[in-house]
């Protein structure tokens, strides 16, 4: 769990994300279920997620956008899982107009819904917000790729952080994890 200051959100494990996602599916809040999938898989900030229309991503292999915070142009691969989820949710949500934004809730309301969903599935000791989805996706990629320095640097670039120290805190890389690296020296030359 990442603890920097009281405003920092925590990343969630894939199990926690699945539980929250299932909660929203059960409640038939498909917008929130899709937001969890989309935020986790694209590593986008809510300020960018909230501007995406159906026509930007439906049946597309790549999402092209200019990030609101950085002003940088970015292309994001829409993987096969996300692509099929978008088609499925478009149908479930009664085929909204292609020009409509996908995520219509405000940031504040979305965060409240995420927090309520988390509490409803027994997640109580974490600070959860839309940013948790971005952090969770980044942490997932880092762990799935063997926590390698090469992958870490690529994730740092994707996140557009100004330096790698920010990315280390962001991914919740703790002093304990860093000291575990030294365990590799427990051998005789």
* For residue 184, pLDDT beyond 70: no
Q: What's the confidence (pLDDT) of residue 147?
A: 84
* For residue 173, pLDDT beyond 90: no
* For residue 118, pLDDT beyond 80: yes
Share of the chain above pLDDT 70, in %: 89
Q: What's the confidence (pLDDT) of residue 179?
A: 63
Of 146 and 129, more confident = 129
Q: What's the confidence (pLDDT) of residue 167?
A: 79
pLDDT band at 4 (very low <50, low <70, confident <90, very high): very low
Where does 14-177 sit in CATH, by number? 1.10.443.10
Tell me the C-alpha distance between 184 and 75, whole Å: 38
pLDDT in tens, 79-107: 999 999 999 999 999 999 999 999 999 99
Q: In the numeric block, which tokens belong to residue 61? A: 């292999």
* For residue 61, pLDDT beyond 50: yes
Where on the phi/psi map is residue 71: left (φ > 0), alpha (ψ -120 to 50), or beta? Answer: left
* For residue 68, pLDDT beyond 90: yes
- The predicted model gives 1-23 an average pLDDT of 81
Q: What's the confidence (pLDDT) of residue 180?
A: 67
* For residue 151, pLDDT beyond 80: yes
Q: What's the confidence (pLDDT) of residue 150?
A: 86
């Amino acid at each position: 769990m990442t603890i920097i200051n009281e405003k920092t959100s925590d990343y969630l494990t894939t199990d926690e994300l699945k539980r929250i996602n299932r909660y929203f599916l059960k409640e038939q809040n498909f917008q929130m279920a899709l937001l969890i999938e989309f935020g986790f898989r694209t590593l986008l900030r809510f300020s960018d997620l909230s501007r995406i229309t159906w026509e930007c991503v439906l049946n597309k292999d790549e999402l092209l956008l200019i990030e609101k915070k950085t002003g940088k142009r970015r292309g994001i691969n829409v993987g096969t899982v996300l692509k099929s989820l978008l088609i499925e949710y478009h149908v479930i949500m009664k085929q909204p107009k292609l020009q409509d934004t996908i995520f219509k809730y405000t940031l504040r309301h979305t965060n409240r819904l995420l927090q309520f969903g988390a509490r409803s599935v027994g997640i109580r000791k974490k600070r959860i917000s839309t940013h948790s989805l971005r952090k969770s996706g980044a942490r997932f990629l880092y762990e799935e790729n063997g926590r390698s320095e090469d992958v870490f640097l690529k994730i740092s670039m994707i996140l557009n952080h100004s330096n790698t120290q920010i990315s280390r805190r962001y991914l919740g890389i703790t002093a304990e994890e860093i000291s575990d690296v030294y365990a590799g020296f427990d051998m005789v030359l």
